[in-house]
Amino acid sequence: MQDVTTLGFIQLLGKYGAPDLLFTEYFRVHGNSTLEKHIVDSILYHETDKPIFAQLIGESIPDLERTVGTIFERELPVTGIDLNMGCPAPKVYKKNVGGGLLRDPAKIEDIFKCLKGAVQTFFTVKMRIGFESDQHFHEILDLINTYQVELLSLHARTVKGGYKSEVQYEYIKEAAKIANCPVLANGNITSYISSEKVIEGTQCRGVMIGRSCIRNPWIFRQIQEHLTGKSIFAPTFKDVRGYIEDLYQLSNKSNQEERFRINYLKKFLNFIGISIDNEGQFLYQARRCKTKGDLDIICDQYLIKDGNAEKIYPIEPISGLVARPNCEIKNTCSL
Protein backbone atom coordinates (compact mmCIF):
# COMPACT_ATOMS: atom_id res chain seq x y z
CA MET A 1 0.00 0.00 0.00
CA GLN A 2 1.35 3.38 -1.07
CA ASP A 3 2.69 5.39 1.86
CA VAL A 4 1.84 2.57 4.23
CA THR A 5 3.97 -0.46 3.49
CA THR A 6 7.21 1.46 3.77
CA LEU A 7 10.37 -0.24 4.91
CA GLY A 8 9.61 0.73 8.52
CA PHE A 9 6.05 -0.56 8.41
CA ILE A 10 7.09 -3.87 6.85
CA GLN A 11 9.70 -4.23 9.58
CA LEU A 12 6.96 -3.60 12.14
CA LEU A 13 4.89 -6.35 10.54
CA GLY A 14 7.96 -8.54 10.94
CA LYS A 15 7.88 -7.76 14.65
CA TYR A 16 4.14 -8.36 15.07
CA GLY A 17 3.83 -11.28 12.65
CA ALA A 18 4.54 -10.94 8.94
CA PRO A 19 2.30 -12.38 6.22
CA ASP A 20 3.57 -15.27 4.06
CA LEU A 21 4.04 -12.98 1.05
CA LEU A 22 4.78 -9.28 0.83
CA PHE A 23 4.14 -6.81 -1.98
CA THR A 24 5.97 -3.50 -2.24
CA GLU A 25 4.42 -0.10 -2.83
CA TYR A 26 4.27 0.29 -6.59
CA PHE A 27 7.20 1.48 -8.66
CA ARG A 28 5.91 4.05 -11.13
CA VAL A 29 6.92 3.09 -14.66
CA HIS A 30 7.03 5.71 -17.43
CA GLY A 31 9.46 7.35 -19.84
CA ASN A 32 11.58 9.04 -17.18
CA SER A 33 11.10 6.60 -14.35
CA THR A 34 13.84 5.21 -12.19
CA LEU A 35 13.40 2.80 -9.31
CA GLU A 36 12.27 4.79 -6.26
CA LYS A 37 14.98 4.40 -3.62
CA HIS A 38 12.62 4.02 -0.68
CA ILE A 39 10.90 1.08 -2.39
CA VAL A 40 14.24 -0.50 -3.30
CA ASP A 41 15.21 -0.13 0.36
CA SER A 42 12.02 -1.90 1.43
CA ILE A 43 13.07 -4.85 -0.75
CA LEU A 44 16.63 -4.88 0.49
CA TYR A 45 16.22 -4.32 4.20
CA HIS A 46 12.81 -5.58 5.37
CA GLU A 47 14.43 -8.54 7.12
CA THR A 48 11.23 -10.49 7.56
CA ASP A 49 12.54 -13.61 5.74
CA LYS A 50 9.32 -13.55 3.69
CA PRO A 51 9.24 -13.47 -0.10
CA ILE A 52 8.64 -9.99 -1.47
CA PHE A 53 7.16 -9.07 -4.86
CA ALA A 54 7.99 -5.77 -6.53
CA GLN A 55 4.82 -4.13 -7.78
CA LEU A 56 4.87 -2.04 -10.96
CA ILE A 57 2.29 0.41 -12.26
CA GLY A 58 2.49 1.59 -15.83
CA GLU A 59 1.47 0.85 -19.40
CA SER A 60 4.49 1.62 -21.57
CA ILE A 61 5.88 -1.66 -22.87
CA PRO A 62 9.48 -0.48 -23.38
CA ASP A 63 9.52 1.15 -19.96
CA LEU A 64 8.05 -1.90 -18.23
CA GLU A 65 10.66 -4.05 -19.93
CA ARG A 66 13.43 -1.63 -18.96
CA THR A 67 12.25 -1.50 -15.35
CA VAL A 68 12.10 -5.26 -15.00
CA GLY A 69 15.55 -5.44 -16.61
CA THR A 70 16.91 -2.98 -14.04
CA ILE A 71 15.42 -4.92 -11.14
CA PHE A 72 17.15 -8.08 -12.29
CA GLU A 73 20.41 -6.35 -13.32
CA ARG A 74 20.61 -4.89 -9.84
CA GLU A 75 19.89 -8.34 -8.46
CA LEU A 76 17.21 -7.03 -6.14
CA PRO A 77 16.04 -10.02 -4.10
CA VAL A 78 12.46 -10.12 -5.34
CA THR A 79 10.47 -13.31 -5.61
CA GLY A 80 8.49 -11.88 -8.47
CA ILE A 81 7.08 -8.89 -10.29
CA ASP A 82 3.47 -7.90 -9.68
CA LEU A 83 1.51 -5.77 -12.15
CA ASN A 84 -0.94 -3.28 -10.63
CA MET A 85 -4.27 -3.31 -12.49
CA GLY A 86 -6.35 -2.07 -9.58
CA CYS A 87 -5.45 1.45 -8.45
CA PRO A 88 -8.73 3.42 -8.54
CA ALA A 89 -7.34 6.95 -8.15
CA PRO A 90 -8.69 9.03 -11.07
CA LYS A 91 -5.27 10.63 -11.57
CA VAL A 92 -3.95 7.14 -12.21
CA TYR A 93 -6.68 5.48 -14.22
CA LYS A 94 -7.01 8.52 -16.50
CA LYS A 95 -3.51 7.67 -17.70
CA ASN A 96 -4.70 4.15 -18.50
CA VAL A 97 -2.56 2.60 -15.82
CA GLY A 98 -3.53 0.78 -12.62
CA GLY A 99 -7.27 0.13 -12.72
CA GLY A 100 -7.50 2.05 -16.01
CA LEU A 101 -5.97 -0.91 -17.84
CA LEU A 102 -9.04 -3.02 -17.15
CA ARG A 103 -10.86 -1.15 -19.94
CA ASP A 104 -8.42 -2.40 -22.54
CA PRO A 105 -7.82 -6.16 -22.79
CA ALA A 106 -5.73 -5.73 -25.96
CA LYS A 107 -3.31 -3.51 -24.04
CA ILE A 108 -3.31 -6.00 -21.17
CA GLU A 109 -2.34 -8.73 -23.60
CA ASP A 110 0.63 -6.68 -24.87
CA ILE A 111 1.77 -6.01 -21.32
CA PHE A 112 1.38 -9.64 -20.24
CA LYS A 113 3.35 -10.78 -23.29
CA CYS A 114 6.15 -8.35 -22.46
CA LEU A 115 6.28 -9.11 -18.74
CA LYS A 116 6.06 -12.85 -19.17
CA GLY A 117 9.14 -12.62 -21.41
CA ALA A 118 11.05 -10.18 -19.20
CA VAL A 119 10.41 -11.52 -15.71
CA GLN A 120 12.93 -14.18 -14.76
CA THR A 121 11.05 -15.21 -11.62
CA PHE A 122 7.31 -15.16 -10.86
CA PHE A 123 5.03 -12.86 -12.82
CA THR A 124 1.92 -12.00 -10.81
CA VAL A 125 -1.09 -9.72 -11.19
CA LYS A 126 -3.19 -7.65 -8.82
CA MET A 127 -6.53 -6.57 -10.27
CA ARG A 128 -10.14 -5.67 -9.69
CA ILE A 129 -13.11 -7.31 -11.38
CA GLY A 130 -13.37 -4.59 -13.99
CA PHE A 131 -13.50 -0.86 -14.51
CA GLU A 132 -17.18 0.04 -14.29
CA SER A 133 -18.55 -3.46 -14.72
CA ASP A 134 -17.34 -7.02 -15.16
CA GLN A 135 -17.39 -6.56 -18.94
CA HIS A 136 -13.88 -7.91 -19.60
CA PHE A 137 -13.53 -10.14 -16.54
CA HIS A 138 -13.53 -13.49 -18.33
CA GLU A 139 -11.42 -12.23 -21.19
CA ILE A 140 -8.77 -11.07 -18.73
CA LEU A 141 -8.88 -14.40 -16.87
CA ASP A 142 -8.26 -16.10 -20.21
CA LEU A 143 -5.21 -13.87 -20.70
CA ILE A 144 -4.01 -14.80 -17.23
CA ASN A 145 -4.08 -18.42 -18.31
CA THR A 146 -2.62 -17.83 -21.75
CA TYR A 147 0.36 -15.90 -20.38
CA GLN A 148 0.77 -18.20 -17.39
CA VAL A 149 0.44 -15.56 -14.72
CA GLU A 150 1.63 -17.29 -11.56
CA LEU A 151 -0.52 -15.64 -8.89
CA LEU A 152 -3.63 -13.51 -9.10
CA SER A 153 -4.68 -11.20 -6.26
CA LEU A 154 -8.26 -10.17 -6.92
CA HIS A 155 -9.86 -7.19 -5.21
CA ALA A 156 -13.48 -8.04 -5.83
CA ARG A 157 -14.79 -4.57 -6.58
CA THR A 158 -14.79 -2.53 -9.75
CA VAL A 159 -12.42 0.41 -10.07
CA LYS A 160 -15.41 2.73 -9.87
CA GLY A 161 -16.45 0.92 -6.70
CA GLY A 162 -13.44 2.46 -4.95
CA TYR A 163 -12.98 1.14 -1.43
CA LYS A 164 -16.53 1.23 -0.16
CA SER A 165 -18.80 -0.62 -2.59
CA GLU A 166 -19.91 -4.13 -1.67
CA VAL A 167 -17.15 -6.70 -2.20
CA GLN A 168 -18.42 -9.27 -4.73
CA TYR A 169 -16.71 -12.42 -3.53
CA GLU A 170 -18.53 -14.51 -6.12
CA TYR A 171 -16.00 -13.20 -8.66
CA ILE A 172 -13.20 -14.64 -6.56
CA LYS A 173 -14.95 -18.00 -6.60
CA GLU A 174 -15.23 -17.74 -10.38
CA ALA A 175 -11.57 -16.75 -10.76
CA ALA A 176 -10.45 -19.58 -8.46
CA LYS A 177 -12.35 -21.99 -10.73
CA ILE A 178 -11.07 -20.62 -14.03
CA ALA A 179 -7.53 -19.42 -13.36
CA ASN A 180 -4.73 -21.96 -13.58
CA CYS A 181 -2.78 -20.09 -10.92
CA PRO A 182 -3.49 -19.62 -7.22
CA VAL A 183 -5.94 -16.81 -6.46
CA LEU A 184 -5.75 -14.58 -3.40
CA ALA A 185 -9.00 -13.00 -2.27
CA ASN A 186 -8.86 -9.32 -1.45
CA GLY A 187 -11.36 -6.78 -0.15
CA ASN A 188 -12.62 -6.21 3.40
CA ILE A 189 -10.97 -9.21 4.97
CA THR A 190 -10.89 -7.88 8.48
CA SER A 191 -9.94 -10.82 10.73
CA TYR A 192 -9.02 -14.50 10.86
CA ILE A 193 -12.76 -15.16 10.96
CA SER A 194 -13.60 -13.37 7.72
CA SER A 195 -10.45 -14.81 6.19
CA GLU A 196 -11.66 -18.35 6.87
CA LYS A 197 -15.16 -17.53 5.65
CA VAL A 198 -13.89 -16.15 2.35
CA ILE A 199 -11.45 -19.00 1.76
CA GLU A 200 -14.19 -21.56 2.41
CA GLY A 201 -16.78 -19.69 0.39
CA THR A 202 -14.64 -19.06 -2.67
CA GLN A 203 -12.14 -21.94 -2.63
CA CYS A 204 -9.38 -19.41 -3.20
CA ARG A 205 -5.83 -20.26 -2.15
CA GLY A 206 -5.39 -17.49 0.39
CA VAL A 207 -6.17 -13.91 1.24
CA MET A 208 -4.52 -10.58 0.67
CA ILE A 209 -5.02 -8.06 3.46
CA GLY A 210 -4.63 -4.32 3.13
CA ARG A 211 -6.23 -1.88 5.54
CA SER A 212 -6.89 -4.37 8.29
CA CYS A 213 -3.19 -4.86 8.93
CA ILE A 214 -2.93 -1.16 9.68
CA ARG A 215 -5.71 -1.51 12.25
CA ASN A 216 -4.42 -4.82 13.53
CA PRO A 217 -0.79 -5.68 12.73
CA TRP A 218 -1.25 -9.02 14.54
CA ILE A 219 -3.80 -10.15 11.92
CA PHE A 220 -1.40 -12.35 9.93
CA ARG A 221 -0.16 -14.07 13.04
CA GLN A 222 -3.76 -14.63 14.16
CA ILE A 223 -4.67 -16.18 10.80
CA GLN A 224 -1.68 -18.50 10.94
CA GLU A 225 -2.48 -19.48 14.53
CA HIS A 226 -6.09 -20.14 13.60
CA LEU A 227 -5.14 -22.24 10.56
CA THR A 228 -2.71 -24.34 12.59
CA GLY A 229 -5.06 -24.82 15.52
CA LYS A 230 -2.93 -22.84 17.97
CA SER A 231 -4.38 -20.47 20.53
CA ILE A 232 -4.89 -17.11 18.97
CA PHE A 233 -2.97 -14.14 20.27
CA ALA A 234 -5.35 -11.55 21.70
CA PRO A 235 -3.64 -8.16 21.88
CA THR A 236 -4.62 -5.87 24.74
CA PHE A 237 -5.07 -2.12 24.59
CA LYS A 238 -1.61 -1.88 26.16
CA ASP A 239 -0.20 -3.75 23.15
CA VAL A 240 -2.02 -1.29 20.88
CA ARG A 241 -0.49 1.59 22.85
CA GLY A 242 2.95 0.06 22.14
CA TYR A 243 2.10 -0.30 18.45
CA ILE A 244 1.12 3.39 18.27
CA GLU A 245 4.46 4.34 19.81
CA ASP A 246 6.27 2.11 17.29
CA LEU A 247 4.42 3.89 14.47
CA TYR A 248 5.45 7.26 15.86
CA GLN A 249 9.06 6.15 15.95
CA LEU A 250 8.88 5.25 12.24
CA SER A 251 8.53 8.93 11.38
CA ASN A 252 11.60 9.71 13.48
CA LYS A 253 13.98 8.42 10.88
CA SER A 254 13.52 11.34 8.53
CA ASN A 255 13.94 13.94 11.30
CA GLN A 256 10.54 15.37 10.52
CA GLU A 257 9.04 18.29 12.38
CA GLU A 258 6.57 17.27 15.07
CA ARG A 259 3.49 18.41 13.14
CA PHE A 260 4.41 16.17 10.19
CA ARG A 261 5.03 13.28 12.53
CA ILE A 262 1.66 13.84 14.19
CA ASN A 263 -0.12 13.92 10.84
CA TYR A 264 1.67 10.75 9.79
CA LEU A 265 0.58 9.03 12.98
CA LYS A 266 -3.00 10.27 12.70
CA LYS A 267 -3.37 8.53 9.35
CA PHE A 268 -2.71 5.23 11.06
CA LEU A 269 -4.82 6.16 14.08
CA ASN A 270 -7.74 6.60 11.70
CA PHE A 271 -7.68 2.85 11.20
CA ILE A 272 -6.68 1.82 14.72
CA GLY A 273 -9.38 4.06 16.18
CA ILE A 274 -12.22 2.11 14.59
CA SER A 275 -11.68 -0.68 17.09
CA ILE A 276 -11.34 1.32 20.31
CA ASP A 277 -14.63 2.72 21.59
CA ASN A 278 -18.19 2.36 20.33
CA GLU A 279 -18.85 6.09 20.28
CA GLY A 280 -15.77 6.93 18.21
CA GLN A 281 -14.58 9.36 20.89
CA PHE A 282 -10.97 8.20 20.64
CA LEU A 283 -11.01 8.89 16.91
CA TYR A 284 -12.72 12.24 17.39
CA GLN A 285 -10.25 13.42 19.98
CA ALA A 286 -7.14 11.98 18.37
CA ARG A 287 -7.96 13.74 15.11
CA ARG A 288 -7.94 17.08 16.92
CA CYS A 289 -4.57 16.69 18.66
CA LYS A 290 -1.87 19.12 17.62
CA THR A 291 1.14 17.81 19.56
CA LYS A 292 2.56 14.46 20.52
CA GLY A 293 1.93 15.42 24.13
CA ASP A 294 -1.81 15.86 23.40
CA LEU A 295 -1.90 12.55 21.56
CA ASP A 296 -0.14 10.76 24.39
CA ILE A 297 -2.79 12.02 26.81
CA ILE A 298 -5.63 10.71 24.61
CA CYS A 299 -3.89 7.39 23.95
CA ASP A 300 -3.17 6.88 27.64
CA GLN A 301 -6.73 7.82 28.58
CA TYR A 302 -8.32 5.30 26.20
CA LEU A 303 -5.69 2.58 26.17
CA ILE A 304 -3.99 2.55 29.55
CA LYS A 305 -5.82 4.34 32.37
CA ASP A 306 -8.80 3.16 34.43
CA GLY A 307 -8.10 -0.50 33.80
CA ASN A 308 -8.14 -0.09 30.00
CA ALA A 309 -4.63 -1.52 29.54
CA GLU A 310 -5.79 -5.11 30.03
CA LYS A 311 -8.86 -4.85 27.79
CA ILE A 312 -8.74 -7.03 24.71
CA TYR A 313 -8.48 -5.15 21.42
CA PRO A 314 -11.52 -6.19 19.34
CA ILE A 315 -10.67 -8.45 16.41
CA GLU A 316 -13.17 -6.68 14.15
CA PRO A 317 -13.78 -2.98 13.55
CA ILE A 318 -16.70 -1.50 15.49
CA SER A 319 -19.62 -1.22 13.13
CA GLY A 320 -20.55 2.32 12.20
CA LEU A 321 -17.05 3.75 12.63
CA VAL A 322 -15.12 4.64 9.50
CA ALA A 323 -11.52 5.52 8.81
CA ARG A 324 -12.07 9.06 7.53
CA PRO A 325 -11.61 11.12 5.46
CA ASN A 326 -11.37 8.15 3.13
CA CYS A 327 -9.43 4.98 2.76
CA GLU A 328 -6.54 6.39 0.82
CA ILE A 329 -3.97 7.58 3.29
CA LYS A 330 -2.59 10.18 0.92
CA ASN A 331 -3.13 10.60 -2.77
CA THR A 332 0.37 10.18 -4.04
CA CYS A 333 -0.72 8.43 -7.18
CA SER A 334 1.05 10.96 -9.37
CA LEU A 335 2.23 8.90 -12.25
Ligand X SMILES: Cc1cc2nc3c(=O)[nH]c(=O)nc-3n(C[C@H](O)[C@H](O)[C@H](O)COP(=O)(O)O)c2cc1C
For the annotated catalytic residues, the residue numbers are: 87
Q: Which of 7, 22, 89, 126 binds ligand X (CB under 6 A)?
A: 126
Query: Taking CB under 6 A as the criterion, which residues in 21-40 touch ligand X?
Result: 25-26
188 touches ligand X by CB under 6 A: yes
**Of residues 27, 48, 49, 22, the one with CA closest to residue 37:** 27
329 touches ligand X by CB under 6 A: yes
Confirm if 289 and 262 have CB atoms less than 8 A apart: yes
Residue 138, SS3 per DSSP? helix
105 touches ligand X by CB under 6 A: no
Residue closer to ligand X by CB (options 4, 71) is 4
The nearest distance, CB 54 to ligand X, in angstroms, is 11
Query: Taking CB under 6 A as the criterion, which residues in 140-159 touch ligand X?
Result: 155
Q: Which stretch binds ligand X (CB under 6 A): 60-68, 141-149, 172-180, 210-218?
A: 210-218
59 touches ligand X by CB under 6 A: no
Q: Which stretch binds ligand X (CB under 6 A): 109-117, 249-257, 312-320, 326-334?
A: 326-334
Cα–Cα distance measured from residue 303 to residue 19, given in angstroms and rounded to the nearest whole number: 26
The nearest distance, CB 163 to ligand X, in angstroms, is 6
Cα–Cα distance measured from residue 66 to residue 302, given in angstroms and rounded to the nearest whole number: 51
209 touches ligand X by CB under 6 A: yes
Confirm if 150 and 121 have CB atoms less than 8 A apart: no
130 touches ligand X by CB under 6 A: no
Q: Which stretch binds ligand X (CB under 6 A): 66-74, 171-179, 252-260, 324-332?
A: 324-332
327 touches ligand X by CB under 6 A: yes
173 touches ligand X by CB under 6 A: no
Residue 318, SS3 per DSSP? coil
Residue closer to ligand X by CB (options 128, 241) is 128
Burial of residue 210 (number of CB atoms within 10 Å: 0-12, 13-18, 19+): middle
- Using Cβ positions, the residue closest to ligand X within the complex turns out to be 210
Q: Which stretch binds ligand X (CB under 6 A): 39-47, 195-203, 208-216, 283-291?
A: 208-216
**Of residues 45, 49, 3, 5, the one with CA closest to residue 24:** 5
Q: Can you list the alpha helix ranges (DSSP code H) found in the chain?
A: 7-16, 37-45, 61-73, 90-93, 105-118, 137-146, 170-178, 192-202, 212-215, 219-227, 237-250, 258-272, 281-287, 292-303
Segment (H or E) for 130: strand 122-130
Residue 209, SS3 per DSSP? coil
DSSP state, residue 329 = S
The nearest distance, CB 111 to ligand X, in angstroms, is 15
Residue closer to ligand X by CB (options 89, 286) is 89
Q: How many CB atoms lie within 10 A of CB 260?
A: 12
Q: Which stretch binds ligand X (CB under 6 A): 42-50, 206-214, 231-239, 245-253?
A: 206-214
274 touches ligand X by CB under 6 A: no
Cα–Cα distance measured from residue 47 to residue 246, given in angstroms and rounded to the nearest whole number: 17
Give me the residues that bind ligand X (CB under 6 A), please: 1-2, 4, 25-26, 55, 84, 86, 126, 155, 163, 186-189, 209-212, 327-329
